[in-house]
Structure 1
Amino acid sequence: MALEGSLKDFGFADILQLIFFQRKTGVLTIEGRLDKIRLLFIDGNITGAESKRRSEANRLGKILVKKGVLSEELLQSILQEQKNTNTKLGNLIVRKGIVEKADIEEILENQIKETVIQIFNWKDGTYEFTPTAVPVDKEIPLSIDTQHLLMEGLRIVDEWTTIEGKITLDTVFMKTGIIEAEQPEEEREILELIDGENDVSTIIDISGKDDYSVSKVLVSLLDKGIIASKEAKPLIAVQLVITEAKPPLSYTFLPLIVIIIAFVISLLPVFTESGDILKNFITSKDINELRLKIEAHKFSFGEYPADLNSIIRKSDQWHQPYIYKNFGEYYTLSSSGPDKISGTPDDIY
């Protein structure tokens, strides 16, 4: 059974956590206003990303041409061969000895990361995860740790709040013709990569710098009026749905309403019993999020936190503190569950 829904109800970070912790294999399709993206997973880790808007082959080829590794003529020749043989562009280039396998892997991994990270900024959209076998590229196998990418994505999204609303990884810029007399070197380097065709993610790939550094420079150039953004066209048309107004409820239906209310009240004990199921799910989800924050703390400081005070101050769904024990090389984390007693069968880990 497929996992599907709206990003408004279940965020992208939550989806990644679920797939990672359950070691799922399959395809996650996410569709937003500007793009439709397919992420491939094997045992919870990301092995590929496909964007409807940006072809992997076109991006890879453009990067290699911009870096001077390929000429435009040679690229077109290889693209034609790729079309005839149905072989991935990266594999063809490696076979011909034009670029080292490790270099192609690095470019492709960066493309996957950028494709994934941009989704963290999506406020609207739909998702669907379908469990299915995912083929492995034996020539250039890729596997990116979903948990590390999740932490990196959350970090970048937090940093991007300073430039939110100004640019995205899909934004394409063009030069306005304004020239600054004394321009910083880092701005000159990025300005040379702006041609009205390269989007932000391609500029990042070619520059070799990280997302945030490049984006800060682009915002600076934008604020100075040296560059301007080209408007992106939505892939999906926005439909205006007008619903017909319903007439007021007639008083003749009041007896029926009374019966319905009585029926609902009779079901309240059932709902009360099932309430713990929902609380269990929410607590389990909170614990998974806590684990990510604990791992992020170790990643930043080289050790697990002494306690949870610096990470979280909320309690579990039964208003009890989470039980955290740091043993140096490892830690344990749990909730005492509905009975509020640690060490009993209903504990949640």
Structure 2
Amino acid sequence: MAIEGPLRELALTDVFQLLDLSRKTGTLTITPEDGRSRPALVRFDRGAVVAAELGHAHERLGHLLRRAGKVTEAQIEAAHLAQKYAPGRGLGAILVEQGAVSADEVRRQLKFQIQEIVFELIQWKDGYFRFEEGTVTANGNVPVRVSTESLLMEAARRVDEWSTLETKIPHMGVIPVFVMDSPDGPTLDLHPKEWEVLAEIDGTRTLKEIAQTLGRADFDVAKIAYGLVATGVADIREEPAERVLTPTAGGLDRPLRDALGEAQLALADGAADRARRVLDELARAHPDRPEVYTLLAEAQRRLGRWGEAMISLGRAAALDPLAGPVHYQMGFAAAHTGDLHRAREAWDTYLRLDDAGDAPRRQRAARARDAADALLSVMGEEGQ
């Protein structure tokens, strides 16, 4: 018999406790109230949590292992290639089989993913849950098992601490902004983890995106951000209006920036084709967003689709003509397609724009433009 009902009547913490105490085995499906986002899945085995899926978070294993320094980009790419010939096999299991990483390390990262997903789900107040009993498997990955009781205890601790954090960090969707930029300001005395978060602050990404990039727990990043804000090193601002839910292909609605973050994580994991599919969908739904085309061009570049990258960069430049990095990348894309005239023009445009914060890139653009000039001159002499 299925157990189901609205979250307004029975909180997920109560549902988890019920499944734990009754040692249930099966799958818990949690659907957001709007019914448009992808449902979350939590799999139980005799009351313990053995897997959790929320959006594409379960596909981040490669990114987490690489951030932890346990695998290389080449090993991730080799594992993704092997996955194509072994449908149903998890990335972690393949990496272990290839000797790239230990099963214990994969298990540790899988537990981390389960914990973060469960902690996020427990905060949901609206929606609908349904638990169906049935056999669960390791989903082709290294088997993992997390005590439901420990998850709930940690969740309770975080809820208590959030009452303090929320005075400055109301939620993970806020955008941190670095404000201590005076040359006469005090020398920052930060711990390595604090420096790590500070280095990711660019005034455009949310705390959640920074946590995903770093492969760290949302709660840990929020605590560090709280300290940075409290000491005046950083400030926070709410998300701009365009970051509300927007329609995408396939009938799903999700935040544009979350979808871009999903594509960025796919690129970080070496899954350029998956990133391209996500970005193709976004481009159809958001034809007026230059950042979508810029990231799409990056995915196409990694796949060696230089002609397609040229088209995407051209659209990005048309939407934001003053975006220097777009012209910079367009130069190389044009060079790869053999259009040296357009490459030279793109680099020249980039050098005329203000990008003083990246001197090495300006130097490379100048060298590339001069090289194109030299080659075009020689080709002209040869009548080419």
TM-score (norm 1): 0.57
> Cα–Cα, structure 1 residues 200 and 35, in superposed 2: closer, same or farther, change >3 Å?
farther
1:176-195 alignment runs, 5 A limit: 176=178, 179=181, 181-186=186-191, 187-194=194-201
Q: How many angstroms does 1:26 deviate by?
A: 0.7
* Stretches of structure 2 lacking an aligned partner (at least 5 in a row): 247-251, 255-384
Q: Distance in 1 between matches of 2:163 and 2:98?
A: 43
Q: 2:53 aligns with which of 50, 54, 58?
A: 50
Q: How many angstroms does 1:75 deviate by?
A: 2.5
| Higher-RCO chain (CA-CA 8 Å, sequence separation at least 6) | 1
> Cα–Cα, structure 1 residues 184 and 126, in superposed 2: closer, same or farther, change >3 Å?
farther
Q: Distance in 1 between matches of 2:175 and 2:69?
A: 22
Q: Distance in 1 between matches of 2:134 and 2:43?
A: 10
Q: How many angstroms does 1:12 deviate by?
A: 0.9
Deviates more, 1:135-144 or 1:7-16: 135-144
> Cα–Cα, structure 1 residues 73 and 228, in superposed 2: closer, same or farther, change >3 Å?
farther
Q: Distance in 2 between matches of 1:218 and 1:147?
A: 28
> Quick check: 1:118–1:168 contact (8 Å CA) kept in 2?
no
Structure with more helix by fraction: 2
Which residue in the other structure is 2:224 paired with? 217
Q: Distance in 1 between matches of 2:76 and 2:64?
A: 11
- What is the RMSD computed on CA atoms of the aligned residues? 3.2
Q: How many angstroms does 1:218 deviate by?
A: 1.5
Q: Count residues in correspondence.
A: 232
Q: How many angstroms does 1:200 deviate by?
A: 5.5
Does 2:116 align with 1:114? yes
1:141-156 alignment runs, 5 A limit: 141-156=143-158
Q: Distance in 2 between matches of 1:135 and 1:221?
A: 43
Q: Distance in 2 between matches of 1:39 and 1:49?
A: 4
Does 2:79 align with 1:78? yes
> Cα–Cα, structure 1 residues 222 and 72, in superposed 2: closer, same or farther, change >3 Å?
farther
> Cα–Cα, structure 1 residues 164 and 27, in superposed 2: closer, same or farther, change >3 Å?
farther
Q: Distance in 2 between matches of 1:138 and 1:113?
A: 20
TM-score (norm 2): 0.52
> Cα–Cα, structure 1 residues 203 and 148, in superposed 2: closer, same or farther, change >3 Å?
same
Instruction: Tell me the alpha carbon deviations over residues 158-211 of structure 1, each in whole angstroms, 9 at most, x when there is no partner.
Output: 111222383546x485655754743231321322355748636536744xxx66
Percent of pairs identical after alignment? 29
> Quick check: 1:175–1:228 contact (8 Å CA) kept in 2?
yes
Does 2:11 align with 1:11? yes
> Quick check: 2:45–2:136 contact (8 Å CA) kept in 1?
yes
Q: Distance in 1 between matches of 2:97 and 2:164?
A: 43
Secondary structure class of the residue paired with 1:130? strand
> Quick check: 1:23–1:42 contact (8 Å CA) kept in 2?
yes
Instruction: Tell me the alpha carbon deviations over residues 286-316 of structure 1, each in whole angstroms, 9 at most, x when there is no partner.
Output: xxxxxxxxxxxxxxxxxxxxxxxxxxxxxxx
> Quick check: 2:211–2:221 contact (8 Å CA) kept in 1?
no
Deviates more, 1:16-25 or 1:183-192: 183-192
> Cα–Cα, structure 1 residues 158 and 18, in superposed 2: closer, same or farther, change >3 Å?
same
> Cα–Cα, structure 1 residues 74 and 139, in superposed 2: closer, same or farther, change >3 Å?
closer
Q: Distance in 2 between matches of 1:44 and 1:107?
A: 21
* Stretches of structure 1 lacking an aligned partner (at least 5 in a row): 239-349
